[in-house]
Structures are given as structure tokens and as C-alpha cells.
Structure 1
Amino acid sequence: MNRRTKIVAVSAAVLLTLGAGGMAAASADDSHRPAPARPAVSEAAALTGSAKLYRPAGDDITFSFDAHLAEKDRQDPTKATGTFRFSHYKGDRGGYAKVKVDCLTTGGKVAVVSGVVVETDVKEFRKARVGVTVHDAPGGDRLGYTWMTADPQKDKVPPCLSGAPFEKVEKGTGDFEVEPWEFIHPTE
């Protein structure tokens, strides 16, 4: 072996030995410390994602959600925040609405979110409270909403209320994510 190769080999061996010794020393120094705690869950519940509803007649109906219930508000789903949007167009007719969330509850992969319409081009939806139910299902997401049976102008929809998820989401468009909510029951 030539002199240069020997120097490189010896240097590498020394560095490996020092590195291993340094790691062992660091491990020994850290042995009295507890394992790092898992990060705290920042949300008690959430509903996010978007989808297009299936309609054989070619209607363009979309829903998108960005609704959250903070961990500190776990016991009060009416402190949920965020927005959701929906639109329905067919040809040159249709409209949209943006809703400010006022309640969010989830159970397993089902979420119910409600809120008040804050922006729309549909007169009937102005300032109305509406609710939507989402089922984040492995075989295809589903969705339901209050205006199927309630008139947004005259029927008062309570917070956290919606219909069963009767609508099918168009294949390949549903990306809903539901963070399950767990109500903590009082012990006394």
C-alpha cells in the first residue's frame, strides 16, 4: 500500500472511532433525560378537502371545506372556525356560496358542519345558515346538505344540523379528510 493510501485509511479509521465514541458519550449524557413527549394534538376535530358531486346530466357541483375545532374548544363545537364553499352550475345558470363555519362535529369518518353564508350570488342563500354532512368513505365519499329539504330563506337551520350523506361524489374527486372528534364526558 502506498503512503498516501495508508494515511487516508488511518485517518478514516480515527474519524470513525472518534465519531462512534462521541455518539456513545452523547448517548450516555442523554440517558438520564426522559424520551421526548409526543406533540400535543392541536385540533379536536377537522374537515378538509373538496369534491365534485356526481350528476349524469352534467351539472358542475363542487364542495370544498376548511373547518377546524381547536383542542382548547373540544367541549364546544360551536367554536369551530373556517369556511366551506359550494357551487352549482349547469350551462349558463347557477351560483356559489361561501360559508363562515359556526359549528363542527365529527364521529369516525362522518362530519357535520354548519355556518352562515357570507358571500353568494344566489339571493335565497344570503345570510342563511346551512349545514353539510360529509362521509369520508373508503369506497367513495358521500355528502348531504340542508337545502335539499329546508328553504334557506324561511327555514331556520340550527347549528350542527344537516341531512344524511345521500349524494355520491364523482369518482376520483373526493379528497375529504375527517379528524374524529371525541367529546370528553364529565366524570362528576
Structure 2
Amino acid sequence: MNRLTQRRTKIAALGAALLVTAGAAGTALASGDAVPAGQAREAAALTGTAKLYRPAGDDITFTFDAHLAAKDNMDPEQASGTFSFRHAFPDGTSGWAKGKVDCLLTGGKVAVVTGIITETDQANKGKRVGISVHDQGKNDRLGYSWIGRDAEKQNLPKCMSSAPFEKVKAGTGDFKVLPWQPVYESARG
């Protein structure tokens, strides 16, 4: 191997090593495991959009941008952000709502968010709803509080929802859950 070929090989190897390192750092940042120097990791988050799987042809989309700041780590009711959902039926009718987040709890890859509906074309403006998400990559799951016979009468407390029982339509799930890491006082003895 001549010197020019050796030098090109070294440069290519160095470039590949830098790309691998940058990719690993980007993955760590995206997962919430690392944050840039001097910045606090937010306490919890739920972001993303997905469509629910419905074989009858319904088009149901949920979107989240919910966050709990690091300074509010032990108070999930200080969460902020927005959520929205839209349900278009095969017959052409539809309903939609947007809301303001009032609580966010996450554990591992599961999140529960509640909030008050602030805009809608339905009769539920001002009502609190709860939504749960299980972040499983492209196979996310979702649940919501307005299920059951008494859904119209319920007065849902903050931080509550059902299990994530709905499947997300293949290829549409991009929910990201940042796990909450509560800090407890040590036991006194």
C-alpha cells in the first residue's frame, strides 16, 4: 500500500468512527439519557403523532406535545403542553378536539396525560380527558378515558386514564415517552 492509499484509509476510518460516535450521542440525547452540558433534563415528556388502527376505515389521529420541567419533577400537575385528536368516520362525519395539558406521568415507555379540552366541535369543551400511551416504536398503543357506559357523566381527576388498549396503525406511531425519575427523600432513622 502506498502512502496516499494508507492516508485515505486512515481518514476514512476516522470519519467512520466520528459518525458512529455522533450517532450514539444523538441516540442518547433522543432517549433522554444524556443532555447537553449545563442543561437540566426535563422531568418527563410525551410527544408525537399516530393514527389508530380501525379496520372499518375510520381515520383517528392523536398528537401530543406534553412536558414536565426539571424544576417541577415531583409535581406532575405542573406539566404543560397540548394534545389534540381527530376522528373522521367513513361516512364523512368527523369530530375533533384540542386541549391544554394539566398532568403528565410517565413510567418506562408508558405515559398518562390529562388535560382540559379548550377547542372542539363537540359538546365536551371544558371537560378533562385522560389519554395513555405505550411507546413501542412503530407499534405504539393508546387508551383514553371516554370509554364505558358512564363516560358522559364522569368527572375525571388529573393524572388518570385507561390502559392503552388501542393499536396504532402500522407505520404511523412516532410517540416518544421520556420516563419520569422521581426523587424521594431518604428514610430517616
TM bracket, shorter-chain basis: 0.7 to 0.9
TM-score where L is the length of structure 2: 0.76
Matched, 1:101 2:101: yes
- Matched to 1:93, the amino acid is T
Report the CA distance between 1:151 and its aligned residue.
4.6
**What is the CA–CA distance in structure 1 between the aligned matches of 2:175 and 2:38, rounded to whole Å?**
24
Map 1:143-154; keep pairs closer than 5 Å.
Answer: 143-149=142-148, 151=150, 153-154=152-153
Question: Residue 184 of structure 1 aligns to a residue in which SS?
Answer: coil
**What is the CA–CA distance in structure 2 between the aligned matches of 1:53 and 1:132, rounded to whole Å?**
13
Unaligned runs of 5+ in 1: 1-36
**What is the CA–CA distance in structure 2 between the aligned matches of 1:43 and 1:150, rounded to whole Å?**
37
**What is the CA–CA distance in structure 1 between the aligned matches of 2:57 and 2:129, rounded to whole Å?**
24
Unaligned runs of 5+ in 2: 1-35
Matched, 1:156 2:160: no
Map 1:22-171; keep pairs closer than 5 Å.
Answer: 38-90=37-89, 91-123=91-123, 125-138=124-137, 140-149=139-148, 151=150, 153-171=152-170
Question: Residue 147 of structure 1 aligns to a residue in which SS?
Answer: coil
**How many residue pairs are counted as aligned between the two chains?**
151
User: Which protein has the larger Cα radius of gyration, Structure 1 or Structure 2?
Assistant: 1
Question: Residue 99 of structure 1 aligns to a residue in which SS?
Answer: strand
User: Taking structure 1 as reference, are residues 119 and 152 closer, same or farther at Cα in structure 2, changes over 3 Å only?
Assistant: farther
Question: Residue 43 of structure 1 aligns to a residue in which SS?
Answer: coil
